Amino acid sequence: MSETALRDLNAIPGSEKKNESSSKGSITKPLAGNANENQEECQKKATAALGALSINGAEVANTGVEIGIAEVEYIESENLNDLEDVDTSLKTLVTGLESKDWVLLCEALNNVRRFSIFHKEAMLDMLGDVISLVVRSLKNPRSAVCKTAIMTSADIFNAYNDLVVDSLDPLLLQLLLKSSQDKRFVCEAAERALVAMTTWVSPPLLLPKLQPYLKNKNPRVRAKASMCFCRSVPRLV
């Protein structure tokens, strides 16, 4: 039987054997190439999609090796809960505001807001240092930190009124700049903070601080300063 099979194989013309061999050899190579290309393409699309994601306060950092995702919730002042441990929170407040971990930094900023609302006397002695650190957070390139710092500024104005005047200059500049930028949710938060400022800081103290910005080279800053000026002047009466 094996001799018959051998004779049949030898009887096949050489060209047919060559075609059969070449067709068998060509089956796997294109499939392997397509699989690799498809895998690389999927990886590129996934990396691009995750690298560009920034929705509703979700910040995505793509380091090229790993991708971390975290969310910060923007809590309105009336929805903030009181501090569980006032003494411990006060001792760790400055450390939190100096943190390089942006999630911890946002939590520390929210604690400043809680102190302003529920325990403003406890933070009074360190108010100047706290405002300086809030200003630093306003300069943070991460939008979640920036917006939380803006909301913190509004609560500080509400709680401490004229007591903020000695530390107001750098804070006022950053709020005017943030209210003049293109990121809508940051801009709107900064405008609300400026309204709080003109509501709670006395005009005789505030107007001299605003006056230099009426001639600022940035037309948007001039416009925002003018609006603050106009809101504050009627309160002189």
Of 33 and 184, the one with more pLDDT: 184
Sorted by sequence, the CB contacts under 8 Å of residue 177 that are 6+ apart come out as 218, 221
Calpha distance 37→41 (Å, rounded): 6
pLDDT at 61: 39
Domain boundaries, given as residue ranges, for the chain: 2-46, 73-236
**Would you give the DSSP letter of residue 7?**
H
| pLDDT tens digits, one per residue of 40-94 | 554 555 444 434 333 344 443 333 333 334 567 899 999 999 999 999 999 999 9
| pLDDT tens digits, one per residue of 156-188 | 999 999 999 999 999 999 999 999 988 899 999
Residue 115 φ/ψ, nearest 5 degrees: -60, -40
| pLDDT tens digits, one per residue of 82-134 | 999 999 999 999 999 999 999 999 999 999 999 999 999 999 999 999 999 99
Q: Over pLDDT 90: what percentage of the chain? A: 66
Calpha distance 143→137 (Å, rounded): 10
Quote the CATH superfamily of domain 73-236.
Answer: Leucine-rich Repeat Variant (1.25.10.10)
pLDDT at 59: 42
Q: What is the largest CA-CA distance in the chain?
A: 119
Average pLDDT over residues 194-215: 97
Q: Are 143 and 183 in contact (CB under 8 A)?
A: yes
Average pLDDT over residues 210-231: 96
Q: Which residues pair with 69 in a beta bridge?
A: 60
Calpha distance 119→224 (Å, rounded): 31
